[in-house]
Amino acid sequence: MTLMGGTVFAQAIPIAALAVLTRFYAPEDFGVFALFSALVAVLTVAATGRYELAILIPKRDDEAAQTALLALSCSVVAFAATLFLCAWRGDLLAAWLGDAGLARRLWLAPFAVLSGAALSTLTCWANRESAYRAISLSRVALSACSALASIGLGLAARSDGLLLGMVFGSLIGCAVLLPPILARLRRSPPDLAPAALWRQARRFSAFPRINLPHALLDSAQGMATLALIGGLFGAHALGLYAMAMRARTPMGVISASMGQVFQQRAARVAADGGDLRPLLKAQWRDLFKWLLPMLAGLAWAPWLFATALGPAWREAGVFVLILLPWLAMNFMVSSLSQLPLILGRQLGALRYGLLYQAALLAPLTLPYIWPGMSLRAVFAVLSGAASLALLSYAWWIWLIAKNAGRD
């Protein structure tokens, strides 16, 4: 409940700040910010080698500290590599992502990667220490400071204020997490010699070898989507799409929370050899009860966006309406994503994951085949294709739940 409360509050802050931010920043600025954030997300996933996920595993605290320092060390190397890349071929990278205007802001990318990777590592470390209050406060401080910094820089007419606010917020989030971790280290200083870190690197080598490629694939899909939209339709359209996707925030919070409960119950039923179908039916019934009022609200999206954010953002609300079937299906299915892992059906889940990513990316290539195709038409095809992919995935989930007791 501590983590949940902090997450909800942290999500509410940037949503409330949008009414102010959209008065200072144009859709083009939000488009560049979305592209920059997607690039940083991909680089941040790779920065730690995913070693931060292994911090919870060791029984001994000194080994956990060594693993955390290993992840932070990898982040410093990634910072240097990103700094070199942006200085050497930043203009080419920005052009490849579909927005050459991003080049003059790429100097911020290394600092965003370092702060984001450090925040992820410290969060995992604090989770091991059961410092849930610190994690919750960190999330709230990050959102609040990022929003305030972006508003302040917007007042100063800085078009890169959204990017600077993002980095500043991450740094504040790290600062909030440090006290309980440092207090723990002072009580029992670990052996942080390079040989000790190398032992942990070999011990958890599966994380960079296996987990990292899968995580990079997911992050790259999001970046490719933004790059295609920006390259084909420009930064203005990209900013409108990025704003439309913020409609998923309340959906994501509810779905993730219900998914955690479902995961715990499904694991217990599966371990006992029980029938998962009643649990699956109950989950879908509860999700549908939440979905109906959200659909009723999103039906007014064009008016809501124009009223709350300004007339320039009405088209983002239209995009929400077009993408609503996809958003609704994603809400109904995403909380079930752990069921294949519980039942040992990872390979099948990967196949459906690739199908889903293809359904998201393939429609964005249609303007190359039919020049002049509108973005609304592209989104209509994307919404239909992604909905069908998720529907097939939901049917497969039902089948493996039905057959779970027979395996």
Numbers of helices and strands, H then E, in the chain? 17, 0
Measured between alpha carbons, how far is 355 from 365 in angstroms, rounded to an integer? 16
Whether the pLDDT of residue 54 is over 80: the answer is: yes
Could you tell me what percent of the chain has a pLDDT over 90? 34
Q: What is the pLDDT of residues 165-213, one digit of tens each?
A: 999 999 999 999 988 888 878 877 777 788 888 888 898 887 888 778 7
Q: 317 vs 89, which has greater pLDDT? A: 317
Q: How far apart are CA 260 and CA 266, in angstroms?
A: 10
| Residues 208-238: tens digit of each pLDDT | 887 787 678 778 888 888 888 888 888 889 8
40 with 110: CB under 8 angstroms?
no
**SS3 category, 7:** helix
pTM: 0.74
